[in-house]
Amino acid sequence: MGRSENHISDFKKNCDWIKQSINTIQKLINKMKIVHIIGALRRGGAERFVVDLCNELAKNDHYQIYLISLCDNDADTTFLNEISGNISYLSLHKGKGLNFQVLFKLTSWLVKQKADVVHTHLNAFEYLLLYRFMSGSCKFFHTIHSTAQAECPNFLIKAFRKTLYKKNKVIPIAVSNDGGKSFKKYYGLDNVIVIENGRPFLTLTDEYPVLIKRYKENINSFLLIHVGRIMKVKNQQLLIEAVQKFNANEEKKCKLLIIGDVRDESVYHHLYSMIKDDPYVEFVGGKENIADFLSMADFFCLSSFYEGMPISLIEALSVGCISICTKAGGVKDMIKNEETGFLSNDNSVDSYYQTIKRAVFYPDKQKIKENSLNSFKQRYHIGTSCKKHVDAYLVF
């Protein structure tokens, strides 16, 4: 009898082990389905980050990544061609304004997919509304890429979002400490997670030597690069005026290249009228080979009124390009003055001019370059940001 009981006990243990093994195998087979939803993929910081994050997540065989764009994307003017082949991409062909047909179509798709995580960005928040109330097991996240107020100025939408945030029906993520503070102030809640943006290491293209020959060989001037869409919040006027003041007062000049798509025609025309025939300021339009420009530049300049966690600054850090910035939003968390870059005291032309002067004549620029690169490796590589997102997906 004793022997029989022992056999039964061993059999039960073996059954338990088999069940555990089967559960483990099922978890491996049934990949975690993570869906990222964004309005469109046109060239911008938030869009750049979403594509990078999805590409990084897709490297892990345990995740099935879906990237949903509410609107169509033209390959020539968006990040469409940079989406990894391991990602399932879908466009819902939305036009301008709220589209209920797209809302129902997306909800139907999510129901069929039975996603484990749905993560929205920018203006895509309201399109998860129906599925949020239909799904009991899915986890929902929303990233605020700017200030909370700038992203959601509408009072009724704010009230709706606050209800979901307060009940942890949707977990809010800010991209900087400054963004987190804006969330707390605007919504009166303190449950926001801060996860910094990130970028992979950049690679040079075949155009790099061509650019070197054009902008660096036999040219006795400092080369400054600005990367940003032409629009009011980027405050390119301040940058141009400060560079022109520098060139009017200093023997060795600064050459400024402004890289970015035009988002506001009136702003662009005003800026263009400022430079006229100035040989030291040039608009070069939107570019995909940002690494080539930043790698040959002496300095990277950012003069914005506000920034969340600027991708362009992260890119500058990744190649060790010395940054000259205003204290805009998350920038002041990223740059330590005269350690990983230079910060102007305020947004006046004279202050930014003095900051440019301090940077170009700084005696140990090599130290700043090395510190910038180390800062990127430790804090702003996309792998670091990806890990923090996965941790959030698993914990909440």
pLDDT in tens, 297-310: 999 999 999 998 99
pLDDT at 9 over 80: no
Q: What is the pLDDT of residue 218?
A: 84
- Provide the b/e sequence for 31-65 (b: ≥16 CB within 10 Å): ebbbbbbbbbbbbbbbbbbbbbbbbbbbeeeebbb
Superfamily of domain 10-200+381-395 in CATH is Glycogen Phosphorylase B; (3.40.50.2000)
Q: What is the pLDDT of residue 356?
A: 98
Q: What is the pLDDT of residue 28?
A: 45
- Of 20-24, 124-128, 261-265, 316-320, the poorest mean pLDDT is in 20-24
**Comma-separated ranges of CATH 3.40.50.2000 domains in the chain:** 10-200+381-395, 208-379
Closest CA to 122 of 137, 143, 95: 143
pLDDT in tens, 82-137: 999 999 999 999 998 889 999 999 999 999 999 999 999 999 999 998 999 999 88
pLDDT in tens, 198-218: 999 999 999 999 999 999 988
Mean pLDDT of the chain: 93
pLDDT at 147 over 70: yes
Give the mean model confidence (pLDDT) for residues 4-32: 60
Distance between CA atoms of 335 and 349, rounded to whole angstroms? 20
- pLDDT-derived band of residue 219, with 50, 70 and 90 as boundaries? confident
Give the mean model confidence (pLDDT) for residues 366-372: 98
**Second-level CATH architecture of 208-379:** 3-Layer(aba) Sandwich (3.40)
Question: Helix 155-166 crosses helix 177-187 at what angle (to 10 degrees)?
Answer: 100
CA 127 to chain centre: 21
